[in-house]
Amino acid sequence: MPQIRLGSTAFLLALLLMLMFSATGSALGGPQAHPHRPIQPDFQEGLVPVFVLGDLNEDGRVDQADRKLLAQILAAPGNHAPMAATCVAAGDLNLNSRIDREDLVRMDEWLKGEPQVEVPALTYDSRLPCAFRHPLIATRLDATPGEDVPIVFLEPGLSPGNSTVVVESGPGTVRKSSDGKGYVVRTSPSASTGDHVVLLITLPNRKYYFAYGISPFAAPSSK
Ligand SMILES: [Ca+2]
Ligand SMILES: [Ca+2]
């Protein structure tokens, strides 16, 4: 099996497609993690906070500290998570709504020869707990053709002055939001269901990928 090169286009697209389909898919079973309080986001306009996939301790990086927490969860009776694992959902790397051995295998692949994942992905999944102790941004998980997708900065200090959002691939264009709180991605009116827009979000000292899919249905709260 060829070694996975973190940051390679093929790896990125495979991961993002997996994220996208998981985010819009149905629940696959009950959580097996510890009883941290699940967060029910209360954002308007259909926005949700996203977390860094693989970042169990919510320090913004995916590294050996997260790998250690993931291994501890797997080893604990009932998958009880240590206190430092504030976002158990981030440990579900294969997005099957369970913390399982395959997640650890995948984490080892991601960190093979690397001190940390170079550009982690952002995602959201309510089926496992996440405390969102350091929320970065809120956004939407899908959009209809022509619809806007806000990228709202939640972390104090983040602004369009020190952070950027660019379209890596897909039918979208980016502009700064009129309220100064982030960016807005305009989905192309000619986008097709099944397309996806991949964004590179650059914050001070950190970069993340985020992808959203094109849906034929408008979200109830969208305009
Ligand atoms: Ca971390
Ligand atoms: Ca899993």
Give phi and psi for 17, each to the nearest 5. Answer: -65, -40
**How many Cβ atoms are within 10 Å of 143's Cβ, its own excluded?**
24
- Ranking 3-12, 28-37, 61-70, 115-124 by mean pLDDT, the lowest is 28-37
CA of 219 to the centre of ligand 1 (A): 32
Which residues have a beta carbon within 5 Å of ligand 2, which is an ion?
92, 94, 96, 98, 100, 103
First-last CA distance in the chain: 47
CA of 202 to the centre of ligand 2 (A): 27
CA of 100 to the centre of ligand 2 (A): 5
| Nearest ligand to the C-alpha atom of residue 29 | 2
CA of 64 to the centre of ligand 1 (A): 8
CA of 32 to the centre of ligand 2 (A): 10
| Nearest ligand to the C-alpha atom of residue 120 | 1
Tell me which architecture the domain covering 137-214 has in CATH: Sandwich (2.60)
pLDDT in tens, 51-107: 999 999 999 999 999 999 999 999 998 888 999 999 999 999 999 999 999 999 999
Position 201 pLDDT exceeds 80:
yes
pLDDT of residue 35: 41
CA of 4 to the centre of ligand 2 (A): 19
**How many Cβ atoms are within 10 Å of 3's Cβ, its own excluded?**
8
Cβ 69 vs Cβ 91: under 8 Å? yes
**Which residue bears the tokens 């099944």?**
194
Measured between alpha carbons, how far is 10 from 65 in angstroms, rounded to an integer?
Answer: 26
CA of 65 to the centre of ligand 1 (A): 6
Measured between alpha carbons, how far is 153 from 203 in angstroms, rounded to an integer?
Answer: 10
Q: How far, CA to CA in Å, does 147 sit from each of 17, 140, 211, 214?
A: 20, 11, 15, 9
Measured between alpha carbons, how far is 168 from 162 in angstroms, rounded to an integer?
Answer: 19
CA of 87 to the centre of ligand 1 (A): 10
The angle at the Cα of 209, spanning 169 to 89, to the nearest 5 degrees, equals 135
| Nearest ligand to the C-alpha atom of residue 79 | 2
CA of 58 to the centre of ligand 1 (A): 5
Instruction: Return the domain boundaries, the chain.
Output: 9-26+52-123, 137-214
CA of 137 to the centre of ligand 1 (A): 17
CA of 186 to the centre of ligand 1 (A): 31
Measured between alpha carbons, how far is 120 from 15 in angstroms, rounded to an integer?
Answer: 10
Measured between alpha carbons, how far is 2 from 75 in angstroms, rounded to an integer?
Answer: 29
Please name every residue paired with 173 in a beta bridge, in sequence order, or none if there are none.
186
pLDDT of residue 30: 34
Position 22 pLDDT exceeds 90:
no
Position 4 pLDDT exceeds 50:
no
Cβ 132 vs Cβ 51: under 8 Å? yes
User: Which of residues 38 and 27 earns the better pLDDT score?
Assistant: 38
